[in-house]
């Protein structure tokens, strides 16, 4: 991507996290508040428990697990793709709120971590994340004040604004913090979307206000195309591409008016986990190493322009929404040398009741599993947790209560007993992690029919929601 000698926002080579603080999670004492581990483990440190050689069968249901081999593959896959496309990656950390997983993404070459609010920023600061994009507008005076007094060389944060009122509010609060400056991205939205200025002309007004402010400096433009579409059909993709073209146009007009802060490299950012290929296709032309001038998206001052995507679900992926809509699973890419991501999360639930033929009640519910993007998917059945399992064909989850779910099956072809264990595929990692404060990581869950050593617990992931 060119020389980095004048980069103020840096590149992936300078990103990081405080590994000493992350490793310190291994000292956390296991106890009653961690529902994924049995009472026999209480009083032991997380690291000692893992080192003792525990496996899936030593845990208890209901349970959420992660697959280490799948996550490693997904991280490497995404890092290689971004490098090939010449874009940077700031994965959305709110998906997992797990510093151990953030470290894996940063070690894999990510530019930084994206977050959504100030409480999440405090988690990142506590674990020494050096570079954060806050994909939201700060309007709480205490949050603005905290950031102004906390940011520095080891905690760089760039946040968004989408209105003149937000600019004025931040200016007012920052007047009380002498010398304070926040780096700002102007957010462009779209009709029917979430946040973001609804027109290029309106976004330019906001950009001009940031440019004229005492405490804000404009470093980029951004937005979220995922709020404008939810499928991968032609109409949805056309909507996404139209929005991205408008975002590119906004960046070009800001360049033309010289509204970006001088001497600071620029960011053009979009891209959740569903349409990041479209983002790169449309916005890749914005990338510049600062030596090409305005014609290549740069500027006379030599500042770089980086396209940063913020996909958050790719590391874990799923067996539902993202499996169906991910760029690596549609459009023929999976058969053209572009293997899809692998689902790295599964729920495990035990049969606690069989009140009717063809109905089994499992001990996992919406307090344990996500249901906002589709019901859990019954995949395998076994007589014990950690043992061999058989494919559970034709079964489905028909309803989910707080602590139970309803497994429907054909009793003529499938035998289910009290105490049996079902492995469930899940949809939407963003609403899976918040239900667990501790998540066991297994070496691999790829072959439930013959688990072998793949069910060894190799880590315990701590989350901070």
| Percent of the chain's residues with pLDDT above 90 | 87
Alpha-carbon dihedral sign for residues 49, 126, 63, 91? negative
Does the pLDDT of residue 47 top 90, yes or no?
yes
Query: What is the band of 330 on the pLDDT scale with cuts at 50, 70, 90?
Result: confident
157 three-class SS: strand
pLDDT in tens, 78-127: 999 999 999 999 999 999 999 999 999 999 999 999 999 999 999 999 99
- Report the DSSP beta bridge partners of residue 6: none
- Does the structure show a pLDDT above 90 at 214? yes
Sequence length of the chain is 465
Please, are residues 93 and 112 in contact by the beta-carbon 8 Å criterion?
no
Does the pLDDT value for residue 131 go beyond 90?
yes
Query: What are the residues whose beta carbons fall under 8 Å from the beta carbon of 252, sequence distance 6 or more?
Result: 297
**In angstroms, how far is the first alpha carbon of the chain from the final one?**
35
CA distance 328 to 274: 9
pLDDT tens digits, 399-414: 999 999 999 999 999 9
Other beta carbons within 10 Å of 326:
24
- Average pLDDT on 279-301 reads 72
> Average of pLDDT values for 426-435?
97
52, with CB counted inside 10 A (0-12, 13-18, 19+), is exposed
CA 110/CA 102 separation, integer angstroms: 9
Comparing C-alpha atoms, which of 178, 96, 144 is closest to residue 441? 96
* Whether pLDDT at 2 is above 60: no
**Beta pairing class for 63-67 and 345-356:** antiparallel
Cβ 167 vs Cβ 208: under 8 Å: no
pLDDT of residue 14: 42
234 has a pLDDT exceeding 80: yes
Task: Specify the pLDDT at position 228.
Answer: 92
**Average pLDDT for residues 345-350, to the nearest whole number?**
98
pLDDT of residue 293: 52
Percent of the chain with pLDDT over 70: 93
Residue 9 C-beta-side C-alpha neighbours within 13 Å: 31
Residue 361 — φ and ψ, nearest 5°?
Answer: -100, 125
Q: Which of 211-225, 233-247, 325-339, 356-370 shows the lowest mean pLDDT across its residues?
A: 325-339
pLDDT above 70 for 336: no
Specify the higher pLDDT residue, 118 or 13.
118
Q: Which CATH class is domain 68-335?
A: alpha beta
Residues 294-311: tens digit of each pLDDT: 444 444 456 899 999 999
Mean pLDDT of the region 22-29: 98
What is this structure's pTM? 0.93
Half-sphere exposure at residue 280, Cβ-oriented, CA atoms within 13 angstroms: 21
Give the list of residues 6+ apart from residue 127 with CB closer than 8 angstroms, or none.
17, 18, 21, 22, 99, 102
Taking alpha carbons only, the member of 203, 236, 448 closest to residue 324 is 236
pLDDT in tens, 449-464: 888 888 999 999 999 9
Count the alpha carbons within 13 Å of 147 in the hemisphere toward its beta carbon.
30
Say whether pLDDT at 11 is over 50: no
Annotation: CATH topology of 22-66+340-462:
Lyase, Ornithine Decarboxylase; Chain A, domain 1 (2.40.37)
Q: Write out the two tokens for 49.
A: 């428990």
Beta-bridged to residue 187, according to DSSP, are 222
> Is the pLDDT assigned to residue 245 strictly greater than 90?
yes
- In this predicted structure, what is the pLDDT of residue 301? 53
pLDDT of residue 460: 98
**Residue 439 dihedral angles phi and psi, to the nearest 5°:** -130, 115
Angle of helix 99-107 relative to helix 118-126, nearest 10 degrees, comes to 70
State the Rg of the chain over Cα: 24
**Confidence (pLDDT) at 290:** 77
174 within 8 A of 144, measured Cβ to Cβ: yes
pLDDT tops 70 at residue 387:
yes
Distance CA(296)–CA(336), nearest Å, equals 30
Indicate the pLDDT class of residue 375, thresholds 50, 70 and 90: very high
Please report the pLDDT score of residue 453 as a whole number: 82
Burial letters 379-403, b for 16+ CB under 10 A, else e: bbbbeebbeebeebeebebeebeee
Query: Minimum mean pLDDT among 111-115, 137-141, 325-329: which range?
Result: 325-329
Q: pLDDT tens digit string along 49-75? A: 999 999 999 999 999 999 999 999 999
**Tokens for 460?**
């315990």
How far CA 133 is from CA of 105, 190, 222, 291, 325, in Å, comes to 15, 21, 11, 25, 25
| Cβ(108)–Cβ(79) below 8 Å | yes
What's the pLDDT score for residue 449?
86
Count of Cβ atoms closer than 10 Å to residue 122 Cβ:
16
Domain with CATH 3.20.20.10 in the chain: 68-335
Best CA proximity match to 176, nearest among 151, 211, 145, 214: 145
Give the C-alpha separation, 207 to 118, whole Å.
Answer: 23
What are the residue ranges of CATH 2.40.37.20 in the chain? Answer: 22-66+340-462
């Amino acid at each position: 991507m060119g020389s980095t000698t004048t980069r103020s926002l840096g590149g992936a080579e300078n990103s990081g996290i405080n590994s000493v603080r992350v490793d310190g999670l291994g000292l956390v004492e296991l106890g009653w508040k961690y529902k994924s581990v049995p009472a026999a483990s209480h009083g032991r440190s997380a690291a000692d428990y893992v080192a003792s050689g525990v496996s899936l069968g030593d845990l208890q249901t209901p349970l959420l697990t992660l697959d280490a081999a799948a996550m490693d593959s997904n991280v490497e896959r995404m890092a290689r793709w971004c490098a090939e496309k010449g874009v940077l990656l700031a994965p959305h950390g709110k998906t997992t709120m797990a510093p151990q997983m953030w470290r894996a993404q940063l070690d894999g070459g990510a530019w930084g971590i994206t977050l959504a609010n100030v409480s999440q920023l405090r988690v990142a600061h506590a674990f020494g994340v050096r570079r954060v994009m806050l994909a939201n507008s700060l309007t709480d005076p205490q949050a603005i004040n905290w950031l102004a007094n906390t940011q520095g060389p080891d905690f760089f944060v760039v946040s968004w604004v989408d209105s003149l009122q937000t600019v004025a509010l931040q200016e007012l609060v920052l007047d009380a913090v002498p010398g304070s400056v926040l780096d700002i991205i102007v957010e462009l939205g779209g009709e029917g979307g979430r946040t973001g200025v609804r027109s290029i002309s309106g976004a330019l007004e906001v950009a001009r206000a940031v440019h004229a402010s005492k405490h804000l400096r404009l470093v980029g433009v951004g937005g979220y195309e995922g709020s404008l579409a939810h499928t991968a059909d032609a109409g949805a993709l056309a909507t996404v591409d139209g929005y991205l073209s408008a975002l590119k146009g906004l960046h070009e007009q800001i360049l033309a008016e010289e509204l970006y802060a001088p001497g600071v490299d620029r960011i053009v950012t979009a891209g959740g986990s569903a349409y990041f290929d479209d983002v790169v296709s449309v916005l890749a032309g914005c990338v510049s190493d600062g030596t090409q001038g305005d014609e290549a998206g740069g500027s006379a001052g030599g500042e770089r322009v980086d396209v940063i995507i913020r996909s958050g679900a790719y590391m874990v992926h799923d067996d539902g929404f993202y499996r169906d809509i991910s760029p690596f699973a549609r459009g023929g890419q999976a058969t053209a040398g572009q293997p899809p991501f692998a689902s790295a999360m599964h729920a495990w639930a035990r049969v606690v009741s069989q009140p009717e033929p063809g109905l089994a009640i499992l001990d996992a519910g919406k307090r344990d599993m996500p249901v906002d993007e589709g019901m859990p998917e019954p995949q395998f059945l076994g007589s014990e947790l950690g043992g061999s399992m058989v494919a559970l064909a034709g079964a489905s989850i028909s309803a989910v209560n707080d602590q139970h779910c309803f497994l429907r099956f054909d009793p003529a072809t499938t035998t289910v007993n009290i105490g049996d264990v079902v492995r469930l595929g899940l949809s939407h990692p963003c609403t899976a992690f918040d239900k667990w404060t501790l998540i066991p990581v297994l070496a691999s869950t790829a072959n439930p029919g013959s688990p072998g050593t793949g069910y060894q617990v190799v880590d315990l992931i701590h989350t901070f929601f």
